[in-house]
Amino acid sequence: MNIMVLTCSPNRDGLTAACGKAACQGIGETKGETLLIRLNDLKISNCQACDNGWGTCLKEHECQVQDDFQELHQSMKMMDAFIVITPVYWGEMSESAKAFFDRLRRCEATNRDVKNIFDGKPVIAVAAAGGSGGGVLTCLSSMERLFSHMRAEVFDLIGITRKNRSYKLEAIRAAAKEMVITRR
């Protein structure tokens, strides 16, 4: 099973990175293969809403804005499952996550002719609130709606804060491991 772990924080050693490491550890305890992507290492611009909002994304399910989005989008087609980890900023996903997923949703949610890259595939969504710990629920709600639009199977929604870090990192590791085991 090929699992993409997508972290969406500019901080390389913060709570989001620790969550990514825990997810990779859980997958590593199985026969699963991990592809860890740090979204902030890529150059992905905002959706341009081309051609009145429906450029090539509507009919061809590809974005016409040329940057690192295309390569990441292609690599996602090879995945069997996804773990998406974002810091919580004002109750929402990070800016890099929103920019990427706005474009991806336009390409994939409208793809009704064939299965899109998320169709029926398990996803674990993690909202990591390093500051006050607030906003976790609204962020997870937004992520759940995102993956619902793309017809993914939401395997788990996990909120983590500085206060519950130790046992929630273990929960992320266990959820990643269990997702692989149950999908064999």
Confidence of residue 130 (pLDDT cuts 50, 70, 90): confident
Q: CA–CA separation, 37 vs 26, rounded Å? A: 16
- The neighbour count for residue 62, using CB atoms within 10 Å, is 13
pLDDT of residue 106: 87
User: At residue 10, does pLDDT exceed 90?
Assistant: yes
The pLDDT of residue 114:
66
Q: What is the pTM of this model?
A: 0.95
What domains are there in the chain, each with its CATH number?
2-40+72-109+117-182 (3.40.50.360)
From the CB of residue 140, how many other CB atoms can be counted at a distance below 10 Å? 20
184 pLDDT higher than 80? no
For the chain, give the percent of residues with pLDDT over 70.
97
* pLDDT tens by residue, 48-105: 888 887 788 887 888 899 999 999 999 999 999 999 999 999 999 999 999 999 999 9
pLDDT at 26 over 90: yes
Kindly indicate the confidence band of residue 161, based on its pLDDT and cuts at 50, 70 and 90: very high
Q: Are 139 and 157 in contact (CB under 8 A)?
A: no
